Structure 1
Amino acid sequence: DAIERLLSRRGYRLTAPRRNLLEVMASLGDHFSADAVVGAAPEVGRATVFRTLRLLQDIGVVCQVVLDDGTLAYRLAPEEHHHHALCVECGSVEDFSSPALESVLREVEEATGFSVEAHRLELYGRCAACRAASN
């Protein structure tokens, strides 16, 4: 199991509570709140949920999105790196990837000698449906 290998490389184990939380997150679908995880896994302590979310985010299994209202949402990360476009009107979140952005990161690394370990890009605007509805 890929997640178990990622945890092991960092010196962690896939414990029963972590496995339980991963199953809960998968059942919640895209962009769930920490409180939704807590509510769906009452047998796991709130602090354990938050620690596990942080750990899974650190190893790239979970990604975090800051919604337009400032609340945090999470989702299980897809295999490929991606970014988020958030609608300020309806709150929808679209995932997208951009080879051009990844190319810019490589250029920054080459020009500065800086090694980019992680980055996050969130675009805020209006989705096609909200733009069409306002016309």
Structure 2
Amino acid sequence: MAIIHQFPGYLIRRLHQLSVSIFTQRTQEAGFDLTQLQFAVLSVVDENPEIDQAKLSILVDMDKVTIGDVVSRLETRQLIRRLIKTSDRRARTLTLTKSGKALLRDVQPHVIKIQDEILRSLSPEERFNFVSLITKACRPSD
């Protein structure tokens, strides 16, 4: 086994590749055209109606430029609506359209199943421990 197979950074990148591949394949098979990041954006906007893009980028842990591109694509597909914020006319708030809510509702059960497939080689207890540890590893250090 090559030494890189013992490096967390390499293994995290590899798991990300597997995650993206499984997500893309399974959602396409189910008839959805959606990336993991688009799903995350739709989910966060659904949970935070009238959120602004700056806050969205923080909650999704993605830079503002990338979030702006994703939001633009979702807006073009009429899944998200950008509205001028009443308290600050320079800012825009985001809400899901009816189509966005329907897509999120329809794809969610598939995405939940996909999570099990991503970690299929782990037992339920190992999955719980893995998610706990990776969540801890993702927290900013004090």
Question: TM-score, normalised on structure 1?
Answer: 0.44
Question: TM-score, normalised on structure 2?
Answer: 0.42
Q: Which has the higher strand share?
A: 1
Q: Which has the higher helix share?
A: 2
